[in-house]
Amino acid sequence: MKQSFRSITILLTVILLLPAFFFSGFELFQMNKNEKEIENIYSKQLDAILFSINLYSEDIINSWASKIRLNIKPDDKLDCINLKNILSDASQIRSVVFSNEIKNQRLTVCTFDSLCNLKILTNEINALLKDSLKKINKLKSYYKGGYFKIEQLGIGHVTNSEYIIFLFGNDSNYRLCMLEIDQGKFIKELLGQKIQVTAENNLNIGVVNHNSGKLLYSSGALTDSSELQVKKPLWLFPQYEIGIKLKDKSIQVLSKERNRLNLFFILLADFVFILGALVVFWNIRKEIRLAQIKSEFTSNVSHEIRTPLALISMYAETLEMGRVPNEEKKKEYYGIIYNETQRLSGIVNRILSFSKIEEGKRAYIFTSVKLNDLVTKIMQSYNFHLKNKGFECQINLSQDLPVISADAEAITDAVINLLDNAVKYSLNEKYIEISTGSKSGYIFIEISDKGVGIAKEEQKLVFEKYYRASRGNLAHFAKGTGLGLTIVKNIIDAHKGKVGLESKPGEGSKFRILLPV
Ligand code: ADP
């Protein structure tokens, strides 16, 4: 049997558990891969949003530059009032500065800022132009190639303005134009609108000073720039960065939550698999045990029937042949035949009774029963048998027991089964005690013997059908079907009672039938 259990365990592990574990491992691996991919997609989407905002700011400045290009010729005398009209919607421009010659850097300034300090402004631009010769040459070559472009010239350290530079005019005759832009105003007033529209309800977008880390503008309730997940520089305002955050939960939190949920389901699936495998294992084990017990039952029953049949046949044949010397012997042989027939009918009755119980066909007739009377009646007819087998019998009846409603015949069956067992499983010390009593809502009959006892681990099993205890017990040579205690249990269950067992191998057993009052 142990061998078959080992094979089942190996089979179940290979068929059910290993695939489950491989599947879980694969799922976990996939989960991590998927999460990374999702994070990647999210961050690409956020990148695209930031890109569109950058593009928008470039478009605005391009549109201002185009207005200047279209309305002013390189040779025109600079008319600041006209320029103001042209750029009437660009309140973020503080000044427009023109230069004809790059080398001698003669600047013409139109400022729209009443607080503008012309000296500081021209100094800042001259310094930046000096450092940006390469950039200007590039603009020139673009321009010659027919490609109009704006560039970031630099930041004025005193004015804190952003200078944008572009060329206008024609191939041979062109001018440099610088726009002095108020960075804060541009970001708050112009980019702000775009940021609000882009952010809608599910994003927080903020503009942060790259050096100080301070938030200049935010679309929502952002308090700290560190909350922003993806940050990109603003192309035309390199002092600033634009960052983005999902409003409710960050991608990391969302992906962690998903991970946790997935992990929970994978563990749950594993748990169900293991549970399923265990249930299958238990069922198979039960079936194997039952099959084995059934085959033992068949051989036990055949064995138990064979002995009385052989005896009956032998004595009947001797009688028939007239070989019995005297009347006394004849009487003895008749007695043996009678006893063996009784034994046979006992076995058959037990099996029939069990099969009736199994089919749920045993009908119980409940009447008022006085337990002490019932025990006395049983002992009157059983005492002879006990004495014959050399048993000492002690009866202790507790007085004033309440009358209960029970099937007297069924209870008698149960008690006789227990007495039979007490006789069967007593070796040297032939002592049986039968007592009645009451205990917390129950009255009971107790049958104790000083027989072989039952090992602790088998005490629950002995009530299972066909089960015969084998350890330190007489079962292998005391005949039986393994049905007696099952019948007892079923009868008492039908009375809503309980069967108790206390036993120690080598010291004896005490069975207690408890019936509700
Ligand atoms: P059977 O006696 O026909 O084998 P039972 O169902 O009556 O079947 O009992 C099941 C098993 O319980 C027995 O095989 C025996 O090992 C054990 N058993 C029952 N009663 C006693 C007892 N009084 N003392 C020791 N063992 C017992």
Q: What is the pLDDT along the chain (517 residues), one digit of tens a residue?
A: 556 667 777 777 777 777 777 888 888 788 778 777 877 877 788 788 889 988 999 999 999 999 998 898 877 787 899 999 999 989 999 999 998 765 455 788 999 988 889 999 999 998 998 888 888 888 888 888 888 889 999 999 888 899 999 988 876 777 889 999 999 999 999 999 889 888 887 788 889 998 888 888 888 777 777 777 778 888 889 889 988 887 766 666 777 788 888 889 888 988 888 888 888 888 888 888 788 777 777 877 787 788 788 889 999 998 998 888 888 888 988 988 998 898 888 888 878 888 888 787 788 889 999 999 999 998 987 887 788 889 999 999 999 899 999 999 899 989 999 998 999 899 889 999 999 999 888 999 999 999 999 999 889 889 988 888 765 555 555 777 888 899 999 999 999 999 999 999 989 999 999 999 8
How far, in Å, is the centroid of ligand 1 from the Cα of 304? Answer: 15
How far, in Å, is the centroid of ligand 1 from the Cα of 479? Answer: 10
Sign of the dihedral defined by the CA atoms of residues 219, 221, 223, 224, in that order: negative
Of 348, 419, 425, 471, the residue with max ligand 1 atoms within 8 A of its CB, to mutate for a pocket test, comes to 425
**Rounded CA gap, 492 and 212, in Å?**
86
Closest-CA residue to 217 (of 237, 202, 249, 150): 237
Sign of the dihedral defined by the CA atoms of residues 100, 105, 108, 113, in that order: positive
Q: Whose CA is nearest to atom 7 of ligand 1?
A: 484
What pLDDT is recorded for position 497?
A: 95
How far, in Å, is the centroid of ligand 1 from the Cα of 433? Answer: 17
How far, in Å, is the centroid of ligand 1 from the Cα of 482? Answer: 7
What pLDDT is recorded for position 371?
A: 93
Of 351, 459, 462, 465, the residue with max ligand 1 atoms within 8 A of its CB, to mutate for a pocket test, comes to 462
How far, in Å, is the centroid of ligand 1 from the Cα of 426? Answer: 11
Phi, psi of 487 (to 5 degrees): -65, -45
The pocket around ligand 1, CB under 6 angstroms, is made up of: 421-422, 424-425, 449, 451-454, 462, 467-469, 473, 475, 480-486, 509
Q: Whose CA is nearest to atom 13 of ligand 1?
A: 468
What pLDDT is recorded for position 463?
A: 92
**Rounded CA gap, 438 and 444, in Å?**
6
Of 386, 463, 485, the residue with max ligand 1 atoms within 8 A of its CB, to mutate for a pocket test, comes to 485
At residue 139, what is the residue type? L
How far, in Å, is the centroid of ligand 1 from the Cα of 406? Answer: 25
Q: Whose CA is nearest to atom 16 of ligand 1?
A: 469
Among the atoms of ligand 1, which is closest to the Cα of residue 473?
Answer: 16
Among the atoms of ligand 1, which is closest to the Cα of residue 486?
Answer: 6
**Rounded CA gap, 109 and 97, in Å?**
4
Q: Which helix (H) or strand (E) holds 273?
A: helix 251-320
How far, in Å, is the centroid of ligand 1 from the Cα of 469? Answer: 7
246 in Cβ contact with 202 (< 8 Å): yes
How far, in Å, is the centroid of ligand 1 from the Cα of 158? Answer: 106
At a CB cut-off of 8 Å and minimum separation 6, what does 271 contact? none
449 in Cβ contact with 509 (< 8 Å): yes
Q: Whose CA is nearest to atom 19 of ligand 1?
A: 421
What pLDDT is recorded for position 74?
A: 79
User: How far, in whole angstroms, is CA 87 from its chain's centroid?
Assistant: 66
* Model pTM score: 0.50
**Alpha-carbon distance values, 495 to 144, 402, 420, 446, 498 (Å):** 110, 16, 21, 17, 9
